[in-house]
Amino acid sequence: MSLVVRAPARAATPRRRNVKLGRIIVRYVFLIAVLIFAVFPFLWTLAIALTDKTAGGSIYNFPASLFPKAITFHNFADVYRTFSLGKYIWNSVSITGMTIVGTLLVSALAAYPLARFRFPGKGIIFAVIIATLVLPGETTFIVNTLTLKKMGLLGTHLGVVLPTVAAAFGIFLMRQAFLSVPQALLEAARLDGAGELTILTRIMLPLSVPSLAALGIFTLVGTWNAYFWPMLALSGAPDAVPLSVAVLKLKGQFNYDPFNIAAGSIIMMVPVLLVFLAAQKLFMRGMEGAVK
């Protein structure tokens, strides 16, 4: 009882209040320090990308290079032209687009029977799909390149995409979405003589748009940023590589021109950053959902 009385009384004394205010200030100072650590590389890259390189000066001229005086967009046009960046942007769009369509299609198709049908082997198949999340795949990339070579797909966008579209995460996510669609809707459609494909496309998918969107966004960000696998699968086809791989080639080729590299980096980052900022809540909830 006495505790209840004492607590507000303590909070009311000026000393107490100062301590509390001090704690909040310390908290913010710390959070801002972490913030600088997290976003500084981006801000500096942006500053370099916007710097007028014709005005002279090095990117290593501190602190001047962190705050460009003469701002220009010339670097973006320059890197686009001299490095034919359009080609790599198109490659990224092609690989990412195909991966998203493929992932949504394969996941939705596989998730439908797992959520809604009774068939022999269902439990085993589901367990095996989930097991791929934890199976150590240290050598899969070696065999996959050999397989793609045999299929004549090594060095093509399809070859980059195919091994990635059937993933447990997507199948699991869509299965959860389909499980929540009321059974009565399906029964009614079946009585009306609708085929299963019609039910999937006309009932299940429209009712699962939030999950489809989430899966699409996750796939977009992951594929757009992917480096190792596209680099490996396209190592024999330098013109087919996406931006994520090209940006490092850019670094090698234009080492003397960090302004162009920075501009190219910003171009690569913008789509993902926009998607992330727009879908930020969804993103973080998706992550949190993975724990629960």
Residue 203 CB, shortest distance to other proteins, in Å, is 15
Contacts of other proteins in 69-88 (CB under 8 A) = none
Report the candidate in 48, 4, 12 with the shortest Cα–Cα distance to residue 266: 48
**Judged by CB under 8 A, does residue 129 bind other proteins?**
yes
Contacts of other proteins in 145-204 (CB under 8 A) = 145-147, 162-163, 165-166, 171, 183, 187, 190, 196, 200
Q: Which two tokens stand for residue 292?
A: 């629960």
**Listed ranges 49-57, 79-87, 93-101, 139-147: which one lies at the site for other proteins (CB under 8 A):** 139-147
Task: Specify the residue, 67 or 117, whose C-beta has the smaller distance to other proteins.
Answer: 117
Residue 256 CB, shortest distance to other proteins, in Å, is 14
Residue 227 CB, shortest distance to other proteins, in Å, is 5
**Judged by CB under 8 A, does residue 283 bind other proteins?**
yes
List 9, 56, 118, 192, residue binding other proteins (CB under 8 A): 118
Name the DSSP letter for residue 51.
B
CA 263 – CA 268 distance, rounded (Å):
9
**Judged by CB under 8 A, does residue 67 bind other proteins?**
no
Residue 134 CB, shortest distance to other proteins, in Å, is 8
**Judged by CB under 8 A, does residue 257 bind other proteins?**
no
**Judged by CB under 8 A, does residue 45 bind other proteins?**
yes
CB 99 within 8 Å of CB 161: yes
CA 114 – CA 108 distance, rounded (Å):
10
Residue 73 CB, shortest distance to other proteins, in Å, is 19
Q: What is the DSSP string of 79-142?
A: HHHHTTHHHHHHHHHHHHHHHHHHHHHHHHHHHHHHHH---TTHHHHHHHHHHTTTS--TTHHH
Report cis status (omega within 30 of 0) of the bond before 63.
yes
Q: In DSSP terms, which residues pair with 71 in a beta bridge?
A: 51
Residue 254 CB, shortest distance to other proteins, in Å, is 11
List 79, 85, 114, 205, residue binding other proteins (CB under 8 A): 114
Tokens 């960046």 identify what position? 85
Q: Which residues contact 214 (CB under 8 A, 6 or more apart)?
A: 173, 279, 282, 286
For residue 126, the number of C-alpha atoms closer than 13 Å in the C-beta half-sphere is 18
**Listed ranges 76-84, 93-101, 208-216, 223-231: which one lies at the site for other proteins (CB under 8 A):** 223-231
List 142, 179, 185, 209, residue binding other proteins (CB under 8 A): 142
Residue 93 CB, shortest distance to other proteins, in Å, is 15
Report the candidate in 107, 109, 116, 112 with the shortest Cα–Cα distance to residue 171: 107
**Judged by CB under 8 A, does residue 117 bind other proteins?**
yes
**Judged by CB under 8 A, does residue 269 bind other proteins?**
yes
